[in-house]
Structure 1
Amino acid sequence: MKKIIKAMPLLMATMGLASPVMAGVHWGYEGEATPENWAKLTPEYQMCDLGRNQSPVNISGAIKAQVTDLEIHYGETSGNIVNNGHTIQINEKNPNDYVVVNGEKYTLVQFHFHAPSENEINGESFPLEGHFVHKNDKGELLVMAIMFEEGDKNPVVEKFLSILSEEEEVPVDFDKINIAAFLPKSTGYYRFSGSLTTPPCTEGVTWVILKDTMTLSKDEIEKFEHEFKHHNNRPIQPLHGRLIISN
């Protein structure tokens, strides 16, 4: 299967790859630490308010362009799964999964989920969105997003949810789970320049959102919502003249 991505420094890659600056600064999705207040929590989060290329966005009016296909090389992986208090995150132990864009390799570092979706497509929100965070040898980040709709269950998601600890910050190891089952067959995508969707909202992240969706059963979606205990999606951000391209 194939896909594309591009990126920015990993000194704080989405969810869980936080910098030392972020340690001890509480942010979240409820109370006084909601997305609207992130920039007020510490000067290091000012980009959440001042940035002009912030994510997520509403995908609308995409421009058709001749771009290279996404090359996605996903297979069996080992690592751990954890509820880190913000999301359910899967970390790779020995990263072997990667994508190739314009001849450059971006290695999958981790992936996590937001319910409901953060990005929208033509104004439509989805029950769940997966963010697959990659970086290249220069430390640049590329996030590939996959939307999930209610439908047939996903056996791989079922496996992950069955081993997830009920307690926060308790990683559970797993071995040889084929994460290619997360991917749709089509490689159609939208691409734009954006940011991390969590503090410090660093910009320079290349976003690739797959056009085709995947499905989860109603029960699987409810399990995610139960684990999150609240919505964990940042509101849509203005485009500020950015172009969105599609293949």
Structure 2
Amino acid sequence: MSAKKTFYSLFMSFLVLTLAACSTTSPDVAKNDATNKEGEEKKSNEQQTAHWSYEGETGPEHWGNLSPDFAACTSGQEQSPINIVTEQAIDDEKITDLAITYKPTTVSLSNNGHTIQATPSNLDNSIVVDNKEYKLAQFHFHTPSEHQFNGQYFDMEVHFVHKDENNKLAVLGLMIKEGAANPHLEKAWNVIPTEETTEDVNLTEPIDLMSLLPLDKDSFRYNGSLTTPPCSEAVKWVVLETPIEMSKEQIDTFRNIFPDNNNRPVQPLNQREVKEED
């Protein structure tokens, strides 16, 4: 065999072996890839299914440790709710008036195990905060209230959660005290889901959301967060100063569904300011 043929034969043998080696993943590498993938999937599932509650080992003081997604619950510096000390609120003339555009709206009710949530059937309701419009996405209830006024809780609190076009949030907080029966919530309370739901309960008649609010809409403003995991910050909070009323029977109906309370304790104000709109 000539030297040329011998070289060609050796080159082709080397090429075949090289291609075979490149196309075969070693058992250790394959095992590591599978382990890493399994770990990533497990981590993702844990984050998505992290269980939280309002008491015990999954209660508010532990939320930040339940999932990396909930880290802000512990490390955040602008957390909600807060204790609003009315005498310390800053009267800021630069605050633009709160504009609320609510209409009678049909809603569906759900019990997610943490609260009763009402979801509007349309996006016709909105508020304008700091010249920015936010559409009402849902509203839900807490007992007792989450915010305090001068260290005092109210019997309940309702949060109207709004989103702008970039999914930034603005929440309108409304205090509820025991008093006269609330006719605007009566029809919803008649069909309120007492157990955790898999399907929403549709109300056949609309709720007059504007009539649900007090006539006096003076408010407190501050930068805060969601009051439930993941406790995301950069939420604009507008808390109305004047409460509305619900009867003892209506309040007890909600408390019987959530007997252990469903309110997060107040959080440190830190370097934030609470501003007041008159």
For normalisation by structure 2, the TM-score amounts to 0.79
Report the counterpart of residue 43 of structure 1 in structure 2: 68
Q: Is 1:209 paired with 2:234? A: no
- Please give the residue correspondences for 1:33-182 in structure 2 after superposition, counting only pairs within 5 Å: 33-60=58-85, 61-66=88-93, 67-169=95-197, 170-175=199-204, 176-182=206-212
Structure 1 CA distance for aligned equivalents of residues 238 and 170 of structure 2: 8
Structure 1 CA distance for aligned equivalents of residues 248 and 261 of structure 2: 16
The structure with more strand, counted as a fraction of residues: 1
Report the counterpart of residue 271 of structure 2 in structure 1: 241
Is 1:131–1:143's contact at 8 Å kept on the other side of the alignment?
Answer: yes
CA offsets 1:100-156 (integer angstroms, 9 cap, x no match): 234322100000011000111111110000000001112110000000011111012
The structure with more helix, counted as a fraction of residues: 2
- Please give the residue correspondences for 1:194-205 in structure 2 after superposition, counting only pairs within 5 Å: 194-205=224-235
Structure 1 CA distance for aligned equivalents of residues 195 and 258 of structure 2: 11
SS at match of 2:135: strand
CA offsets 1:37-85 (integer angstroms, 9 cap, x no match): 1111111111111000000000111001112211111111122011110
Is 2:180–2:247's contact at 8 Å kept on the other side of the alignment?
Answer: yes
Structure 1 CA distance for aligned equivalents of residues 46 and 163 of structure 2: 21
Q: Is 1:227 paired with 2:254? A: no
CA RMSD of aligned residues (A): 1.6
Q: How many residues align?
A: 229
Structure 2 CA distance for aligned equivalents of residues 133 and 207 of structure 1: 10
Is 2:221–2:275's contact at 8 Å kept on the other side of the alignment?
Answer: yes
Structure 2 residues without counterparts, runs of 5 or longer: 1-44
1:94 shift after superposition: 1.3
State the structure with bigger RCO (CA 8 A, min sep 6), 1 or 2: 1
Q: Identity rate of aligned residues, in percent?
A: 43
Structure 1 residues without counterparts, runs of 5 or longer: 1-19
Distance 1:244 1:21, change over 3 A: farther
172-181 vs 85-94, which deviates more? 172-181
Is 1:95–1:109's contact at 8 Å kept on the other side of the alignment?
Answer: yes
Structure 1 CA distance for aligned equivalents of residues 47 and 236 of structure 2: 22
1:21 shift after superposition: 7.6
Distance 1:238 1:102, change over 3 A: closer
SS at match of 2:171: strand
Detail structure 1 runs of 4+ shifted over 6 Å in the superposition. Answer: none
Is 2:214–2:243's contact at 8 Å kept on the other side of the alignment?
Answer: yes
| Counterpart amino acid of residue 178 in structure 1 | D
SS at match of 2:203: strand
Report the counterpart of residue 7 of structure 1 in structure 2: none
For normalisation by structure 1, the TM-score amounts to 0.89
Structure 2 CA distance for aligned equivalents of residues 183 and 86 of structure 1: 24
SS at match of 1:44: helix
